[in-house]
Amino acid sequence: MENNTEVKHEVTLYAEPIAHVGNFQITNALLTSWITVAIIILFVALLKTKLRNVPGKLQNGFEIILEGAYSLADQVTGDRKITTRVFPLAFSIFTFVLINNWLGILPFGSFGLLEKGAEGTSFIPFLRSGTADVNTTIALALCAVIGSNLFGIVSIGAWKMFNKYVNLKALGSIFTKVRKEPMILLTAPIMFFVGMLELVGEAAKVASLSFRLFGNVFAGEVLLGAMAAIFAYVLPVPFLFLEVFVGLIQALIFSILVLVYFTIAAQDHEEHDHAETLEKEVEFEMEEVAHA
């Protein structure tokens, strides 16, 4: 074929492997994540050595960010106690996702490997947003959802948490309250079923968290690739800005949803409805922002 010498670059749905260590594949997304971790460690080390009571520029900047993040988290959780306990996780997620998102838009994307495949030579960039790989986003989402359930157990107790999903309390109340309220014969099984739905909902949370982030970042990469393919100069610039913005918004959405899940988990079943609306509201608002 003619285009055998032409180098193809397709943005694949999955992260491409760039190296092998034993039977462990190092993908470009994983490499980016490592760089992200290195950047964070470097930054924190720099910050830690210059930590003092009268802040320097770096510390001052970080303090402003931290302060703002705290007040935002307070607005979401509505309780300082929950905020202080969840904040480290949410803030870490935010930082990790944000830097991962932004690393993907860096122009270093043009450094990479050439790999000869069945359909000719294809180009594999070294850097791909860590969050443009489902493995990363699922890992984060699992952390968030499992973490929120553990947090719920710590906050309101294992038995109450268990009854959120497998509502034995509702079933038990059939026998204890049936004489006073016969209607409980009808409502208790429904309550039990709702609990089961909650269980499915937890799985849905993992899916929605991970695929929302992955989809947005991956779409950004595809978009930039497509624009560059149409006309490589100037044309992608506005989209680069857009991607910077999307990266920030997605990091924010992810971390705020984590806060919301933790807040819900810390609440008792009785106040659950309020929390549910809160979740829907936040989700809706963030989506609105994202699509604006």
Partner 1 sequence: MESIVSSFHLDIKILIAQLINFAVVIFVLYRFAIKPLGKLMSERSANIEKGLADAKVNAETLLKTQAEYDKALAEARKEASDIFAKAKKDAEMKKNEMLEDAKKEVSKIMAQGTATLEEEKKKMLDDAKKELASLVTSATEKVLTKGISEKIDAALIETSVAHFK
The token duo for 138 is 């699922």
Q: Does position 60 bind partner 1 by CB under 8 A?
A: no
Q: Which is nearer to partner 1, 249 or 258 (CB)?
A: 258
Using CA atoms, how far residue 40 sits from 36, 84, 210, in Å, is 6, 21, 22
Q: Which one among 86, 133, 167, 261 touches partner 1, defined by CB under 8 A?
A: 133
Minimum CB separation of residue 289 from partner 1 in Å reads 25
Q: Which one among 9, 11, 47, 162 touches partner 1, defined by CB under 8 A?
A: 47
Q: Which of residues 63-82 bind partner 1 (CB under 8 A)?
A: 63, 66-67
Torsion of CA 262, 263, 269, 270, to 10 degrees: 180
Q: Does position 87 bind partner 1 by CB under 8 A?
A: yes
Torsion of CA 232, 236, 254, 26, to 10 degrees: 10
Q: Which of residues 16-45 bind partner 1 (CB under 8 A)?
A: 24-25, 27, 29-30, 33-34, 36-37, 40-41, 44-45
Minimum CB separation of residue 24 from partner 1 in Å reads 6
Which range, of 133-141, 172-180, 243-251, 262-270, touches partner 1 by CB under 8 A? 133-141
Buried-state track 54-64, b at ≥16 Cβ within 10 A, e below 16: eeeeebeebee
Q: Which is nearer to partner 1, 30 or 266 (CB)?
A: 30
Q: Does position 183 bind partner 1 by CB under 8 A?
A: no
Q: Tell me the one-letter amino acid at 217.
A: V
Q: Does position 235 bind partner 1 by CB under 8 A?
A: no
Q: Tokens 């209607």 identify what position?
A: 183
Using CA atoms, how far residue 74 sits from 22, 66, 68, 84, in Å, is 46, 12, 10, 9
Q: Tokens 């705290």 identify what position?
A: 70
Q: Which one among 6, 10, 50, 51 touches partner 1, defined by CB under 8 A?
A: 51
Cα separation, 251 vs 290, in Å, equals: 11
Q: Which one among 112, 130, 152, 247 touches partner 1, defined by CB under 8 A?
A: 130
* Nearest residue to 35 (alpha-carbon basis) of 131, 107, 100, 101: 100
Cα separation, 133 vs 144, in Å, equals: 17
Q: Tokens 């988290």 identify what position?
A: 73
The token duo for 248 is 């920030």
Q: Which is nearer to partner 1, 29 or 184 (CB)?
A: 29
CB-facing half-sphere around the CA of 210: CA atoms within 13 A? 19
State the number of binding residues for partner 1 (CB under 8 A): 43
Q: Does position 150 bind partner 1 by CB under 8 A?
A: no
Which range, of 83-91, 153-161, 184-192, 250-258, touches partner 1 by CB under 8 A? 83-91
Q: Does position 107 bind partner 1 by CB under 8 A?
A: no
Minimum CB separation of residue 267 from partner 1 in Å reads 24
Using CA atoms, how far residue 185 sits from 128, 175, 277, in Å, is 55, 9, 28
Binding site for partner 1 (CB under 8 A): 13-15, 24-25, 27, 29-30, 33-34, 36-37, 40-41, 44-45, 47-48, 51, 53, 59, 62-63, 66-67, 87-89, 91-93, 95-96, 130, 133-136, 138-140, 142-143
